[in-house]
Amino acid sequence: MWNKIITITVLSFSINAFAFLPGLESFPKFPELPKLSGFDPASLQKLYNQFTSAKPDFERENRMVGEIEEAVMDGDVEYLPLSDDKEVFSIYMEAETENAKGGVIVLHSRGYHANWDSVVKPLRVGLAGKGWHSLSVQMPVLDKQATYYDYVPIFPYAHERIEAAIDFYKQRGVDNIILIAHGCGAHMSMSYFDKYGDDKINAYVGVGMGATDYKQKVIKRMPLDSMLKPVLDVYGEKDFPGVRRSAEDRKWLMDIANNKQSAQKVIKKADHYYQEKETAVELIDTIDKWLTQLN
């Protein structure tokens, strides 16, 4: 008798629970990947997050670092250790307040560098002024003509650099670690989360997420639905069309994760590079305000 009652109760609960789950038809409709000039991007999906014969342009990266290293005025150059006795260039700034709120890691967009005047330098300097330690890390680069599809195979090279930045803070006793990524840096960080999860950080900020090239589609759905930590998705009112078009899908995935502290914000008048007057300041204020209320 009691076994029968328990069985009916469990079945009833299961049916009701499934009623609240979204049906497959309600998942965001991600476009198929059409061939582009004879290239089949489905091949990138098959090898996503795997090391292949594709490699970053280390020579170009070294040239870029050589050009900017002596020009760093705000902050200190830090070479973070990687495997095989290698290092990665980064710029560190101490928080400009007596009590630091935590440490932010800033990842630049495609083909740029850790002291890039648009987005990256304003963020790393501006957030230090708001009471955050900041660490801007050099990401893997390719030649100037490289597209999003070209960059996908080298995403795994970014993972070790993200880990090195996290370890940098851990070794200094900084426990509140925030990852902030712009453009292709956001793609690289999503690749990292897809493989390793987000348990080593306290929050994530994606700036201009979903940026690709003309007729190129995002290779794999961003793992926003499986992230456990709070996420801030921030983009410009005049951002790239792909960033703005995919905002609804990103919000839907964030809603599945159901973290009540996650949010999506739009910066008025801003383009992808925050070049309009005062938009970079608004970006810094928006990120700082959101992060501060998490504590």
Structure confidence by residue, pLDDT tens digits, 184-198:
999 999 999 999 999
- Model confidence pLDDT, tens digit, residues 244-292: 999 999 999 999 999 999 999 999 999 999 999 999 999 999 999 999 9
- Model confidence pLDDT, tens digit, residues 62-91: 999 999 999 999 999 999 999 999 999 999
Examine the pLDDT at 8 and tell me if it is beyond 70.
no
Please give the full DSSP string across 251-271, using - where no structure is assigned: HHHHHHHT-TT-EEEEETT--
Query: Is 255 strand, coil or helix?
Result: helix
The domain of 145 spans 54-294
DSSP category for residue 140: P
Q: pLDDT band for 34, please (50, 70, 90 cuts).
A: confident
Structure confidence at residue 10 (pLDDT): 38
Tell me how crowded residue 247 is: count the other CB atoms within 10 A of its CB: 17
Q: Any bridge partners for residue 80, and if so which?
A: 88
Tell me whether residue 162 is in a domain.
yes
Tell me whether residue 70 is in a domain.
yes
Q: pLDDT band for 37, please (50, 70, 90 cuts).
A: confident
Rounded to an integer, what distance in angstroms lies between the CA atom of residue 63 and that of residue 7? 68
Examine the pLDDT at 2 and tell me if it is beyond 60.
no
Examine the pLDDT at 25 and tell me if it is beyond 70.
no
Please give the full DSSP string across 89-110, using - where no structure is assigned: EEEEE--SSSS--EEEEEE--T
Structure confidence at residue 33 (pLDDT): 78
The percentage of residues in the chain with a pLDDT greater than 90, rounded to a whole number, is 82
Rounded to an integer, what distance in angstroms lies between the CA atom of residue 61 and that of residue 112? 9
Average of per-residue pLDDT across 169-198: 97
Structure confidence at residue 241 (pLDDT): 95
Tell me how crowded residue 182 is: count the other CB atoms within 10 A of its CB: 29
Tell me whether residue 230 is in a domain.
yes
Tell me whether residue 270 is in a domain.
yes
Q: pLDDT band for 31, please (50, 70, 90 cuts).
A: very low
Among the listed ranges 6-15, 19-28, 271-280, which one has the minimum average pLDDT value? Answer: 6-15
User: Please, what is the angle between helix 120-129 and helix 279-294, to 10°?
Assistant: 50
Q: Is 216:148 a contact under the CB 8 Å cutoff?
A: yes
Tell me whether residue 11 is in a domain.
no
Rounded to an integer, what distance in angstroms lies between the CA atom of residue 56 and that of residue 87? 14
pTM for the model stands at 0.89
Tell me whether residue 48 is in a domain.
no
Q: Which CATH number does the domain housing residue 99 bear?
A: 3.40.50.1820
Average of per-residue pLDDT across 50-59: 96
Give long-range contacts, CB 8 A cutoff, 24+ apart: 32-39.
Answer: 32/217, 33/217, 33/219, 34/215, 34/217, 36/149, 36/215, 36/216, 39/149
Examine the pLDDT at 213 and tell me if it is beyond 60.
yes
Q: Is 267:286 a contact under the CB 8 Å cutoff?
A: yes
Rounded to an integer, what distance in angstroms lies between the CA atom of residue 271 and that of residue 278? 12
Tell me whether residue 288 is in a domain.
yes
> End-to-end CA distance of the chain, in Å?
51
264: its two tokens: 């999506």
Q: Any bridge partners for residue 182, and if so which?
A: 207
Tell me whether residue 21 is in a domain.
no
Number of independent structural domains in the chain: 1
Examine the pLDDT at 17 and tell me if it is beyond 50.
no
Average pLDDT, the chain: 90
Examine the pLDDT at 14 and tell me if it is beyond 70.
no
